[in-house]
Amino acid sequence: MTTIQFAKGHGTHNDFVLIPDVDGQVDLTPAQVAFLCDRRGGIGGDGLIRIVRSAASGEPAVADGPEWFMDYRNADGSAAEMCGNGTRVFAKYLVDHDLADGPEFEIATRAGSKRINLVPNGYRTDLGEWRLSRLDEAQERGMDSVVQVVGAAEPLPALSVDLGNPHTVIALPPSVDLDGLDLTHPPKVDPEPPHGTNVEFVRAHAPGHISMRVHERGVGETQSCGTGAAAAAIATWWWGGQPVDHLNWNVDLPGGRLGVHLLLHRVALSGPAQIVATGEVTLPE
């Protein structure tokens, strides 16, 4: 049996198991990741982050990039491109353990390098460029897909946003209650993205202010999703005519408030990050 070190952290209650593996010695199987993320049999988390030097990560695409690689896994054990809230928790761990210092530094992810800045309310991550996945269809119809979810009588029009990971955003009509949606089952997206998608349900309150819930692929509903908040703000801003005076957004999620900062073709995310526990755990074989 193998015993390893772990930490537990969260960003607006989007929580993660962190595995320090600075020299790339821990080779976690998908089943072991799923065990660690299990809330009854393991530690519990929406995902897992392995903290490893890029050169020792086993990921050739990041070997020559920033020193530290955020190896992010979904709770079901599958590898994912990145996680917006996870970048802040990852950064918090690096700073707390003197592995990085501010006021800014870069980290490597499967979705490219991300710049982190220390800000008064925690950390701000430049998530990089965004794009509409099917721009021509979106411009023609204002949507590019439909989503069926329990709690809505009819399929809802949606917009696909690519932030290095896939998102499908729905602006809820007044007849559909955000809190009344049943997200215990995955929403059905048509056309179905080949690698799955995160699905965001949005209620607009005022210019620059929305609330949302999210169903994350490979996880289920989470209390917060950083890239999902960014995608929701981008879609709402795009639907509203892309006003240049509404580039900073407050996004309220069940786990708290995040800041989304639109830079026309780039987007940044800001919010808190906490490390709440450390310890040792024995992995199943």
Reply yes or no on whether 83 is catalytic: yes
Task: Single out the catalytic residue among 225, 234, 260, 262.
Answer: 225
37 is catalytic: no
Concatenated DSSP letters of the chain: -EEEEEEEEEETTEEEEEEE-TTS-----HHHHHHHH-TTTS---SEEEEEEEGGGSS-GGGTTS-SEEEEEEETTS-B-S--HHHHHHHHHHHHHTTS--SSEEEEEETTEEEEEEEETTEEEEEEEE-EETTHHHHHHHS-SEEEE-BT-SS-EEEEEEESSSEEEEEE--TTS-GGG-B-SSPPEEESPPTT--EEEEEEEEETTEEEEEEEETTTEEES--HHHHHHHHHHHHHHTT--TT--EEEEEETTEEEEEEEETTEEEEEE--EEEEEEEEEEP-
The closest alpha carbon to 240, from 202, 190, 269, belongs to 202
Euclidean distance between CA atoms 203 and 250, whole angstroms: 12
Residue linked to tokens 């802040």: 88
Give the side-chain half-sphere CA count within 13 A for 197: 27
105 and 188 Cβ atoms separated by less than 8 Å: no
Q: Which two tokens stand for residue 256?
A: 């708290």
Which of 36, 70, 83, 251 is an active site residue?
83
Q: Which residues carry out catalysis?
A: 83, 225
